[in-house]
Amino acid sequence: MTMLQEELETTENVNPYQTVQTQIETAAAILGLERDIVEILKRPKRVLCVNFSVKMDDGSVRVFEGFRSQHNDAIGPTKGGIRFHPDVNMDEVKALSMWMTFKCGVVNLPYGGGKGGVICDPHTLSKGELERVSRGFMEAIADIVGPEKDIPAPDVYTTPQIMGWMMDTFSRIKGSFSPGVITGKPLIVGGSKGRNEATARGCVFTIAEALKDAGKQLQNATVAIQGFGNAGRIAATLLAAQGCKIVAVSDSKGALYNPQGLDLAQVTQLKDTTGIMNYDARYHLQNPQDILELDVDILIPAALENVITRKNADKIKARIVAEAANGPTTPEADKVLFQKGILVIPDILANAGGVTVSYFEWVQNLMNYYWSEEEVNQKLRDVMVHSYRAVHDLAAEYKTDFRTAAYMISLKRVTEAMKARGWV
């Protein structure tokens, strides 16, 4: 381990930008990519920092800071979410845009990676303030986004309604209805059926394939889910419907664990009302982080980055780790898990269902022709299963972990496109 990696791994806040650069270096070394290609891929092509003013409900004016990173557009326009969160920073947004490039590559979408964020706590904003922040950010980045340039989408603490406001703002600026500028919109203004469940559904498809390879079924498999937001709770519902036992869930308020299985309907109801920690106190985990170390078949990190690190990797007992969140595992933790024989379905594969159905939404917007939910889900399953099998086969061929194999697939695609365009 280098001194830099040692320093990163011994701090609580691992820099995601350095993490993704390490992941690129690892896969590029196996592929034997030229140094100039690696240097291009290790940095975003463009990062925009904006400051925009918003009139608050009390009449005061507040300045918000936001970012939009566009990593690589060799294959097509960039694509990626916008998050509203107090901890948004430029390095995080750059890293997430890079992960999006490789996520699109591993599921063979004609996109590069983009990502955006605004530093704010949406829970402290009224609906009117949230709308003005959303419209203000889109006005600030409008010059660099568009259906053929960069297509944003929802992410942490952003919603279909926020996407609708942003699409409307862009359409007003351009003087024409432009639904293809953004995905994850309400259905009535060009959203796609199946989009809300897509990230979780795609993750479940990959989990089913992993269990099949292990000679097991979803029936009675035990599951722990860290992060009971949109992806986590939908994954829980889909897995429970197929016979899995959801034994643990957590959110920002705490964690629950019942080895016999939680009452998922009650947990979901509490999440929407008084909070999951009003569940039977006998099942409260004293330390919410212990959810990562439970002895379960499937662990789904569905919260934020850097939750599995060198400090706790050796305590992970799950047979399969399916990364519904972006960047939950650090490079050094990856090595430990691989040595332990734990299968990690990496974020750029496991949670690619969201961007896949966003692609479907964009295609439907451009055609002005819309598919049924059954068609969307079947197309999603085809993409996820094919992509899983490609990663599985390459990992077996090179005797490497799934993350490295997924990066290798994506790096080869992007490199081929850059060479075809004469960039290198």
Contact status, residue 192 vs residue 360, Cβ threshold 8 Å: yes
Mean pLDDT of 277-305: 95
Q: Tell me which residue has tokens 């566009």.
A: 70
Mean per-residue pLDDT for 2-20? 58
Residue at 284: amino acid letter = H
Nearest partner of 73 among 43, 36, 101, 32, judged by Cα: 101
Query: What is the structure's pLDDT at 11?
Result: 40
Q: How many residues does the chain have?
A: 424
Residues in contact with 237: Cβ distance below 8 Å, sequence separation at least 6, in sequence order: 200, 264, 268
Look at residue 9 and tell me whether its pLDDT is greater than 60.
no
- pLDDT of 401 > 50? The answer is yes
Listed residue (322, 294, 303) closest to 391, CA to CA: 322
Instruction: Give strand pairing partners of 68.
Output: 48, 116
Query: Does 174 participate in catalysis according to the annotation?
Result: no
β-strands 78-85, 46-55: how paired? unpaired
User: Which tokens go with 360?
Assistant: 């479907």
Determine the 3-state secondary structure of 98 from DSSP.
helix
- Taking only the tens place, the pLDDT of each residue in 239-272 is 999 999 999 999 999 999 999 999 999 999 999 9
Q: List pLDDT tens digits, range 200-236.
A: 999 999 999 999 999 998 999 999 999 998 899 999 9
Which tokens go with 310? 């060198």
Mean pLDDT of 97-115: 96
* Each residue's pLDDT tens digit, 40-75: 999 999 999 999 999 999 999 999 999 999 999 999
Q: What is the pLDDT of residue 4?
A: 36
DSSP secondary structure of 362-396: HHHHHHT----HHHHHHHHHHHHHHHHHHHHHHHH
Question: Beta-carbon neighbour count of residue 26 at 10 Å?
Answer: 18
Give 314-369 pLDDT, tens digit per residue. 999 999 999 999 889 998 999 999 999 999 999 999 999 999 999 999 999 999 99
pLDDT of residue 2: 39
Work out the percent of the chain whose per-residue pLDDT is above 70: 97
Digit-coded pLDDT (tens) for 75-99: 999 999 999 999 999 999 999 999 9
pLDDT, residue 142, reads 98
* pLDDT score of 5: 43
Bridge-partner residues for 154, per DSSP?
A: 82
User: Has residue 376 got a pLDDT over 60?
Assistant: yes
* Minimum mean pLDDT range among 11-15, 137-141, 312-316: 11-15
pLDDT, the chain, mean: 94
Cβ-proximal residues to 353 (8 Å cutoff; 6+ apart), any chain = 198, 199, 200, 201, 202, 203, 205, 380, 384
Rounded to whole angstroms, what are the CA distances from 251 to 37, 231, 233, 296, 344? Answer: 40, 12, 10, 18, 22
- pLDDT at residue 370, as a whole number: 97
Q: Is 219 exposed, middle or buried (0-12, 13-18, 19+ CB in 10 A)?
A: exposed
Residue-wise pLDDT tens digits, 150-189: 999 998 899 999 999 999 999 999 999 999 999 999 999 9
Q: What confidence score (pLDDT) does residue 13 get?
A: 62
Among 103, 115, 185, 271, the active-site one is 115
Ordered domains of the chain (ranges, CATH): 45-181 (3.40.50.10860), 197-350 (3.40.50.720)
- DSSP characters over 25-87: HHHHHHHT--HHHHHHHTS-SEEEEEEEEEE-TTS-EEEEEEEEEE---SSSSEEEEEEEETT
Per-residue model confidence (pLDDT) at position 167: 98
For residues 68 and 145, is the Cβ–Cβ distance under 8 A?
yes
Q: Check residue 8 and report its DSSP letter.
A: H
Q: Which amino acid is present at 144?
A: I
Tokens 């939404």 -> residue: 361
Q: What is the pLDDT of residue 305?
A: 81
Is the pLDDT at 129 greater than 80? The verdict is yes
The token duo for 43 is 């940095």
